C-alpha cells in the first residue's frame, strides 16, 4: 500500500525566511509524488510533481522539492517565504490506478 | 479552457436525508474522481469514474454512489446521511485513467461542495 506522512501539522516562518515542509512516503514501487496547495475556501492546486525524470523538481511560485529515495522523502522548500504563501499544503502519492493518497496537511503561517 | 466546476457550493442536510453533488470536468479530461475532506484532514479517495464506469473505490460504504455522463460530468450521491458525512467534497478530473501508470496524470480540483449534516 502507498501512503505519505507529513511531519508537522503547523509551520510558522517569518517573511523572507526559508520554507521547509516535510513529507515521507511509503511505496513498494517507484512512486509518483505530488505537492498541492489549498487556500481558504478553495480546492487544491498543483504545486509540483515527481515522475522519476529528475530528483529535484521545480514548481510554481518558487517552490521546489527533492526526491530522496534513501530517505523516502519528498520535502517541499522555498528559499524566501512571502505572505501569499500562507495556506494548507498537502503531499500526495498516486498509484497506478490514478488514485491519490494525501497526507494530513501542513498549515503554513507567514509572519510579517 | 474551463476548469472543474462543482455545485452546490454549500448545503445543509439532516441525518437520514439524501444528497446529490454535481461536477463538470475540465475540458479534455475523461476521468472524474471524488474526494472527501473532513475538517483538518487531507482529502480521502471515495471513487473514480472512467468511461461512465466506476474505476476504483476507496474505503467508503455503498451508500456513497456516483455516476459519470457521456460528457464526462459526474454526480456523487450519498444516501442515509450521517453526522460524520459533514465535509468538503472535492471533485477532480484528469486524463486517461485507463492507461494507469502514466506519470503525467495529475488531478485538477474543483472548489468543492461543503456539506453540513445536522
DSSP SS3 for A84: helix
**Structure confidence at residue B99 (pLDDT):** 47
B4 in contact with A at a CB cutoff of 8 Å? yes
Give A34-54 pLDDT, tens digit per residue.
Answer: 999 999 888 899 999 998 778
φ, ψ of residue B57 in degrees (nearest 5): -145, 140
A103 in contact with B at a CB cutoff of 8 Å? yes
By C-alpha distance, the chain B residue nearest A38 is B111
CA distance B5 to B21: 11
**Structure confidence at residue A76 (pLDDT):** 98
**Structure confidence at residue B38 (pLDDT):** 95
* Contact call for B103 and A52, based on CB within 8 A: yes
**Structure confidence at residue A106 (pLDDT):** 97
Q: Select from A52, A98, A105 the Cβ nearest to the Cβ of B94.
A: A98
**Structure confidence at residue A96 (pLDDT):** 80
**Structure confidence at residue A31 (pLDDT):** 85
Residue with cell 529528475: A54
- B33 C-beta neighbours (distance < 10 Å), count: 29
A35 in contact with B at a CB cutoff of 8 Å? no
Residue by residue, pLDDT tens for chain B (118 residues) are 578 999 999 999 999 999 999 999 998 888 999 999 999 899 999 999 998 999 899 999 999 999 999 999 999 999 999 999 999 999 999 886 544 444 457 899 999 999 999 9
**Structure confidence at residue B104 (pLDDT):** 54
CA distance B73 to B49: 10
Residues A87-93: what's their mean pLDDT? Answer: 96
CB B90 within 8 A of CB B112: yes
φ, ψ of residue A60 in degrees (nearest 5): -85, 165
- Count of A-B CB contacts under 8 Å: 71
Q: Which of A75, A49, A76 is nearest to A62 (CA)?
A: A76
Instruction: Give Cα separations from B60 to A90, A99, B34, B40, B56 (angstroms).
Output: 21, 14, 11, 19, 11
Amino acid at each position: 500500500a502507498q501512503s505519505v506522512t507529513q511531519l508537522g501539522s503547523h509551520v510558522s516562518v517569518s517573511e523572507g525566511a526559508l520554507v521547509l515542509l516535510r513529507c515521507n512516503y511509503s511505496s513498494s514501487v517507484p512512486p509518483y509524488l505530488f505537492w498541492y496547495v489549498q487556500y481558504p475556501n478553495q480546492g487544491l492546486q498543483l504545486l509540483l510533481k515527481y515522475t522519476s525524470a529528475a530528483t529535484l523538481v521545480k514548481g510554481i511560485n518558487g517552490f521546489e522539492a527533492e526526491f530522496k529515495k534513501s530517505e523516502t522523502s519528498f520535502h517541499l522548500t522555498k528559499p524566501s517565504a512571502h505572505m501569499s504563501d500562507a495556506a494548507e499544503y498537502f503531499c500526495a502519492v498516486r498509484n497506478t490506478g490514478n488514485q491519490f493518497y494525501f497526507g494530513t496537511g501542513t498549515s503554513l503561517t507567514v509572519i510579517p | 479552457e474551463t476548469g472543474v466546476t462543482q455545485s452546490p457550493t454549500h448545503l445543509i442536510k439532516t441525518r437520514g436525508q439524501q444528497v446529490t453533488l454535481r461536477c463538470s470536468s475540465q475540458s479534455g479530461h475523461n476521468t472524474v474522481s471524488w474526494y472527501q475532506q473532513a475538517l483538518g484532514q487531507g482529502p480521502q479517495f471515495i471513487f473514480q469514474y472512467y468511461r461512465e464506469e466506476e474505476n476504483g473505490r476507496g474505503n467508503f460504504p455503498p451508500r456513497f454512489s456516483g455516476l459519470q455522463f457521456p460528457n464526462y460530468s459526474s454526480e456523487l450521491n450519498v444516501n442515509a446521511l450521517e453526522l460524520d458525512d459533514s465535509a468538503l467534497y472535492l471533485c477532480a478530473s484528469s486524463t486517461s485513467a485507463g492507461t494507469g501508470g502514466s506519470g503525467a496524470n495529475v488531478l485538477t480540483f474543483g472548489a468543492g461542495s461543503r456539506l453540513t449534516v445536522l
